[in-house]
Amino acid sequence: MLEVEMMRLALLASILATPAMADPENYGHMMDWGHGYGFGMLFGPVLWLIVLGLVVAAVIWLVRSLDGPPSHQKPSSAMAELDLRFARGEIDAEEYASRKKLLSS
CA dist 97 and 92 (Å) reads 9
Q: What local confidence, expressed as pLDDT, does residue 70 receive?
A: 62
Residues 86-100 have a mean pLDDT of 92
So what's the pLDDT on residue 55?
96
Contact yes or no for 99/91 (Cβ under 8 A): yes
Instruction: Give the number of C-alpha atoms closer than 13 A to the C-alpha of residue 65, restricted to the C-beta side.
Output: 6
> Each residue of 64-87: pLDDT tens digit?
888 776 655 555 788 889 999 999
- Measure CA of the first residue to CA of the last residue in the chain; give whole Å: 76
- φ, ψ at 98 (rounded to 5°): -70, -40
Q: pLDDT tens digit string along 33-76? A: 555 555 566 777 888 899 999 999 999 999 888 877 665 555 57
What is the structure's pLDDT at 84?
Answer: 92
Identify the pLDDT of residue 88. Answer: 92
